[in-house]
Amino acid sequence: MTTKDIANYESFSLINSVTDLSHKINKLFASDLLSNVMGNTAEDDCLITMLNNINVIGVASLNDLSCVIFSQGIVVKKELIDKANELNIPLFTTKFSTVEAIIALSKWDKK
Amino acid sequence: MSDFLEEYPIERNDIGNAGTIASLTKRELKKRGFNPDFIKRVTIGVYEAEINVVIHSYGGFTKVHISDDFCEIKFVDRGPGIPNIEDAMQAGFSTASPYAIENGFGAGMGLPNIKAVSDEMTLESTEEGTTLSMKYYKNQ
């Protein structure tokens, strides 16, 4: 699965202006605690979170994550979108809960 | 290559800039050709320590020293100190403020994570301040 596959999935919307969506996704990782994300993600992982905070983008950049998905339909703050554009990190939103998003993407990946 | 020695200030509650030192350190390690696992260990440790100074202290500074075969980072803050280091080292123990928790911090994993990723870690604390040193060796 790549970030382009997520962009093509109707329940997920790309919300920033990153044009390169060729990043391969290593694994899905869900957490709203940044220490947990920092210590347990690896390069090319996809983070699913409800944490609407600029440090999410910082951690995504530090750990070279492929993208971030904000669950439960939250309206992502502009400062996160601007920072993610600067760092070339695709951001998505979905109305799915975090668990629903994991299930949906796992099924999609097995197609 | 000559050693990299830098000192960075850290401001209290400056959550917007938290992670900057970890990012700069990571960039320098990459430039010097350290392997990805080493870089990841150092980045995690620096990030966690940086966050601790931001959310728990009155502010302080960091000294980063990168040599050909090791990396040593010292964090010094101006208090109020850690009342019980043994408690603070337990995974899940946290005294973080609601402000820190709202921002995704305060899981109580900072110091245990640093201990886990570093090769050497020393922590000293009084009401006047806390000093945390961590060292990473290239070949361990």
Over 70: is that where the pLDDT of A111 sits?
no
The pLDDT score that the predictor gives to residue B119 is 98
| pLDDT (average), residues A73-94 | 97
Chain B residues near residue A59 by CB distance under 8 angstroms: 19, 47
Per-residue pLDDT of chain B (140 residues; tens, 9 = 90+): 899 999 999 999 998 889 999 999 999 999 999 999 999 999 999 999 999 999 999 999 999 999 999 999 999 999 999 999 999 999 889 999 988 888 889 888 899 999 999 999 999 999 999 999 999 999 76
State the pLDDT at residue B140: 61
Which residue has 């570093």 as its token pair? Answer: B118
Q: Which of A35, A55, A62 sits opposite B110 (nearest CB)?
A: A35
| Closest CA–CA distance from residue A38 to any residue of chain B (Å) | 6
Tell me if residue B74 falls in helix, strand or coil: strand
d(CA A91, CA A21): 11
The architecture in CATH of the region A3-110 reads 3-Layer(aba) Sandwich (3.40)
B88 phi-psi bin (left φ>0, alpha ψ -120 to 50, beta other): alpha
**How far is Cα A35 from Cα B115, in angstroms, rounded to an integer?**
13
Give just the sign of the alpha carbon dihedral A59, B43, B54, B95: positive
Mean pLDDT of A24-41: 93
Q: How confident is the model at residue A13 (pLDDT cuts 50, 70, 90)?
A: very high
To which H or E segment does residue B120 belong? Answer: strand B120-126
Q: Which CATH class is domain B4-137?
A: alpha beta
In a mutational test of the A interface, the residue from B40, B55, B113 whose CB has the highest number of chain A CBs within 10 Å is B40
β partners of residue A79: none
Q: What percent of chain A has pLDDT over 70?
A: 98
A72 touches B at CB < 8 Å: no
Alpha-carbon distance B36 to nearest alpha carbon in chain A (angstroms): 10
Q: Are A38 and A49 in contact (CB under 8 A)?
A: no
ipTM score of the complex?
0.84
pTM score, whole prediction = 0.91
